[in-house]
Amino acid sequence: MPTVVTNALSHRYARGGASLHDIDLSVPEGAIFGFLGPNGAGKSTVLRLLLGLLRLQRGSVTIFGKSFATHRIEVLRDVGSLIEAPSLYEHLTARENLVLHADVRGIARAWVDDTLRLVGLADTANKRVAQFSLGMKQRLGIAIAVLHRPKLLVLDEPTNGLDAHGTIEMRELLQRLHRERETTILVSSHVLAEVERLATHIAILASGRLRFQGTLDRLRELHGAAAHIALRTDDDARALGLIADEIPAAARDGACIALPPLPPAALARINRRLVERGIGVHEIARSERDLESIFMELVA
């Protein structure tokens, strides 16, 4: 059963802001679901509707198999979220921030240190938050969001403003959450390369409409991005003539020869034939379109 399902989810702002048009979203249980789209596509609007931060105008939201409209409080007990910048008490330490949230929400204090370890802040637990870097503050915000051990974590652009090191730390944190707590994670982002490394499933939103949802492999399959073999030699024209009889699908593709996927033995045989005929083989590599090129095609 999917963790999150929306049916014909639509929204329009009074002053003509971003609108959503019949969004049918399905987030599988246990997925890291990357929600992609250019600025203004409506990603944040969808997430706010899922969390009840915006009034539902049309359509339905189901979380954990329960209607959000009729089971809102029950559903939200098992949801954690970080939308925009985390709200932190900067004069307190990281541990004091979590203890405060634990006491207010009736969560066992014993969970505080485990959560600090999970987000990589155990060694700085007694440091005042005012002294934290942006990346550390983001991790503390996620610690607050997962302190009650939710089944679903919703994050809106968690790497915004982070440098390369902070972005890698955030990716590793989300992977750790997914692995250790089996949390379903729904994360919006515009950092395509990070989503490609992180997500098990993705959805692409553009101009308020859902353009794709599914696995990355399915996306590549649908958009002509199947893997091929790139062969680079010092004489591609002659090389192509030598292998065309065995590999009719071989063709020039820019600065290389594109071959269909082949078993290792066939590649070794081609390599040996070319070398025996005096052609230098510079590279034999698997090649496929990246997420960025497909994304730009879909949102254009």
Please report, for the chain, the start and end positions of each structural domain, with discontinuous segments joined by +: 4-222, 228-295
Q: Is the pLDDT of residue 288 over 70?
A: no
Mean of the per-residue pLDDT values of the chain: 90
Domain 4-222: CATH superfamily is P-loop containing nucleotide triphosphate hydrolases (3.40.50.300)
User: What's the pLDDT band for 189 if we cut at 50, 70, 90?
Assistant: confident
State the Cα angle at 164 between 162 and 167, rounded to 5°. 55
Specify whether the CB–CB gap between 140 and 94 falls below 8 A. yes
Classify burial at 28, counting beta carbons within 10 Å of its beta carbon; exposed 0-12, middle 13-18, buried 19 or more.
middle
Angstrom CA distances, 233 to 147, 241, 296, stand at 56, 13, 31
Average pLDDT, integer, range 249-277? 89
What mean pLDDT comes out for the span 73-89?
93
* pLDDT tens string 9-31: 999 988 766 689 999 999 999 99
Q: Residues 298, 212: contact at Cβ < 8 Å?
A: yes
Q: Can you point out the beta strands (E) in 69-148?
A: 79-83
pLDDT grade for 229, boundaries at 50, 70 and 90: confident
Start-end of H helices in 11-84: 43-50, 72-76
Average pLDDT over residues 254-279: 90
Task: Tell me the whole-structure pTM to 2 decimals.
Answer: 0.79
Place of tokens 């098990």: 200
Find all residues with CB under 8 Å of 110, minimum gap 6, and list them: none
In this prediction, residue 40 carries a pLDDT of: 83
Q: Is 272 exposed, middle or buried (0-12, 13-18, 19+ CB in 10 A)?
A: exposed
227 three-class SS:
coil
For the segment 288-300, the average pLDDT, to the nearest whole number, is 71
pLDDT value at residue 289: 62
Confidence (pLDDT) at 31: 96
pLDDT value of residue 41: 87
Question: Among 26-40, 78-92, 151-165, 284-298, where is mean pLDDT lowest?
Answer: 284-298
